[in-house]
Amino acid sequence: MEITMQKYQDYQPTQFDRKGLGCDDMQDWFVFIGQNRDSEALTRSNFTVALRELELIDPSGEDFTTASFNHWGPGWIEIILVRPDTQAAIEAQKMGDALEDYPVLDESHFSKLEHQEVSEWVAEECSRLATSCLARDLIGGGETWQELDDDKFCPSLVMERLQWYSLHEISPSDESIIMAMGELGLLKAD
- Domain ranges for the chain: 6-105, 109-189
Q: What confidence score (pLDDT) does residue 105 get? A: 97
CB-CB neighbours of 120 under 10 Å:
11
pTM: 0.75
In this prediction, residue 107 carries a pLDDT of: 96
Per-residue pLDDT of the chain (190 residues; tens, 9 = 90+): 444 689 998 988 888 887 877 778 888 999 999 999 999 999 999 999 999 999 999 999 999 999 988 888 888 999 999 999 999 999 999 999 999 999 999 999 999 998 898 888 888 887 777 766 666 666 665 445 444 444 556 777 888 888 777 766 778 888 888 888 877 777 765 5
What sign does the dihedral 88-90-93-95 (CA atoms) show? negative
**Which of 134, 131, 133, 127 has the alpha carbon at shortest distance from 144?**
131
Round to whole Å and give the CA distance between 111 and 133.
35
Residue environment code for 82-117, b if the CB has 16+ CB neighbours within 10 A, otherwise e: bbeebebbebbbebbeeeeeeeebbeebbeebeeee
